């Protein structure tokens, strides 16, 4: 059995082992990354294909006559034409809910950075501001207490629930969007944890922001496409929102002219909520489990439809 993994570097840049997959196959070929024009040649003779971000189209599948299985190395599988795979008799699986703990942790970390400005104050100290200060302490930006503040959670699956648990422990009031939309939108903080669908693409737009509490904060560790980035940047620059912190953008890596790169009070991290070593090890383990189950005739984590981009 010939397995090809097209974009293995982000999962395993060298600190993990591919052994769980190697034990299942006669040959495993792992490419660090694959450009679009390289995909066809690399999968032409493979039986098992694994990828996170490469776009696998009907044409590419048709050009790989031995292909029987595609394993997404992530929860999302927008990049795979699932309908074409079904037509061609190719199984498709994904890895659901593997990064619940780490994404929730990152969402809270972003919230704390928005309120405590840890990086700003550390940079200030290292630049000499504390050494030259007349007082025993100072602050460059107001520090906001989370206890007693409200958090609106949009998407109350495993990650949303975990974020709610942590925020509750910090003394925050939790408002769940699916239960009370108005209360969630009017919260001091709004955090996104929902999948991207045709119905909610760009949902955080000028209209949505106008219904939010003035001076609120937005956090997005879900999907960049949920946010109209131009509208969010305008709201930040005009002071309608006090700040935003995002780990995902509509295009990754972002274009140089992405408006959030120059927006006021906007923290951006490079899609790292999922990257703790424990989470990436879980990806490899579940990849192997899914494949082993498929070989035995099972349907573990089989996906049946293609979500919208």
* CATH assignment of the domain containing 184: 3.40.50.720
Do 47 and 1 touch, CB atoms closer than 8 A?
yes
Under the banding of pLDDT at 50, 70 and 90, the label for residue 82 is very high
The contacts of residue 144 (CB under 8 Å, 6+ apart) are 114, 115, 116
Task: Report if residue 304 sits inside a domain.
Answer: no
Task: Report if residue 300 sits inside a domain.
Answer: no
DSSP 246: E
Assigned token pair, 151: 């958090």
Task: Report if residue 162 sits inside a domain.
Answer: yes
120 in the same domain as 257? yes
236 in the same domain as 110? yes
Please tell me whether residue 217 adopts helix, strand or coil conformation.
Answer: strand
Task: Report if residue 11 sits inside a domain.
Answer: yes
DSSP E strands, the chain = 2-5, 27-30, 48-51, 69-72, 91-93, 150-154, 173-176, 189-192, 217-220, 243-246, 266-268
CA dist., res. 41 & res. 49, Å (int): 13
Under the banding of pLDDT at 50, 70 and 90, the label for residue 21 is very high
- Averaged pLDDT score across all residues of the chain: 95
Task: Report if residue 40 sits inside a domain.
Answer: yes
- Which are the catalytic amino acids? 223, 252, 271
110 in the same domain as 197? yes
Domain count, the chain: 2
Residue with tokens 């293995």: 8
Dihedral Cα 108, 109, 112, 116, nearest 10 deg: 170
Global pTM exceeds 0.85: yes
152 in the same domain as 27? no
Under the banding of pLDDT at 50, 70 and 90, the label for residue 48 is very high
194 in the same domain as 152? yes
Handedness of CA 223, 227, 228, 232 (dihedral sign): negative
Rounded to 10°, the helix 277-295/100-116 angle is: 160
The CA-based angle 48-50-55, given to 5 degrees, is 115
Q: How far apart are the first and last CA of the chain?
A: 32
Residue with tokens 């490419």: 31
149 in the same domain as 7? no
In angstroms, the Cα distances linking 12 to 15, 18, 20 are: 6, 8, 13
148 in the same domain as 134? yes
Under the banding of pLDDT at 50, 70 and 90, the label for residue 125 is very high
133 in the same domain as 70? no
211 in the same domain as 110? yes
Under the banding of pLDDT at 50, 70 and 90, the label for residue 32 is very high
List the one residue out of 137, 128, 175, 171 whose CA is nearest residue 156: 175
Q: For residue 307, is pLDDT > 70? A: no
159 in the same domain as 43? no
116 in the same domain as 85? no
246 in the same domain as 114? yes
Task: Report if residue 217 sits inside a domain.
Answer: yes
Task: Report if residue 248 sits inside a domain.
Answer: yes
Under the banding of pLDDT at 50, 70 and 90, the label for residue 197 is confident
**Interval 128-132 mean pLDDT:** 97
Task: Report if residue 140 sits inside a domain.
Answer: yes
Domain that holds residue 217: 100-268
Q: CA-based Rg of the chain, rounded to a whole angstrom? A: 22
Do 11 and 73 touch, CB atoms closer than 8 A?
yes
């Amino acid at each position: 059995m010939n397995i090809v993994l097209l974009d293995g570097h982000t999962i395993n840049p060298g600190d993990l082992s591919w052994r769980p997959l190697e034990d299942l196959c006669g040959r495993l070929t792992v490419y660090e990354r694959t450009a679009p024009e390289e995909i066809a040649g690399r999968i032409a003779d493979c039986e098992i294909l694994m990828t996170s971000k490469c776009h696998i189209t009907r044409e590419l599948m048709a050009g790989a006559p031995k292909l029987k299985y595609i394993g997404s190395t992530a929860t999302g599988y927008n990049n795979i034409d699932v309908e074409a795979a079904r037509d061609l008799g190719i199984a498709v699986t994904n890895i659901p809910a593997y990064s619940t703990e780490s994404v929730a942790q990152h969402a809270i970390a972003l919230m704390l950075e928005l309120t405590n400005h840890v990086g700003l104050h550390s940079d200030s100290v290292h630049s000499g501001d504390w050494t030259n200060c007349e007082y025993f302490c100072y602050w460059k930006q107001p520090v906001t207490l989370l206890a007693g503040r409200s958090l609106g959670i949009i998407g109350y699956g495993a990650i949303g629930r975990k974020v709610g648990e942590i925020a509750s422990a910090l003394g925050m009031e939790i408002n769940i969007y699916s239960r009370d939309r108005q209360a969630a939108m009017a919260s001091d903080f709004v955090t996104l944890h929902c999948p991207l669908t045709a119905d909610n693409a760009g949902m955080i737009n000028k209209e949505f922001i106008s219904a939010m509490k003035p001076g609120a904060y937005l956090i997005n560790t879900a999907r960049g496409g949920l946010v109209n980035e131009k509208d969010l940047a305008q709201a930040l620059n005009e002071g309608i929102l006090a700040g935003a912190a995002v780990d995902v953008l509509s295009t990754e890596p972002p274009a140089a002219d992405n408006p959030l790169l120059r927006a006021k009070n906007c923290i951006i991290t490079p899609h790292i909520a999922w990257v703790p070593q424990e989470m990436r090890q879980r990806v490899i383990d579940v990849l192997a489990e899914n494949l082993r189950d498929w070989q035995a005739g099972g349907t573990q984590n089989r996906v049946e439809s293609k979500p919208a981009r």
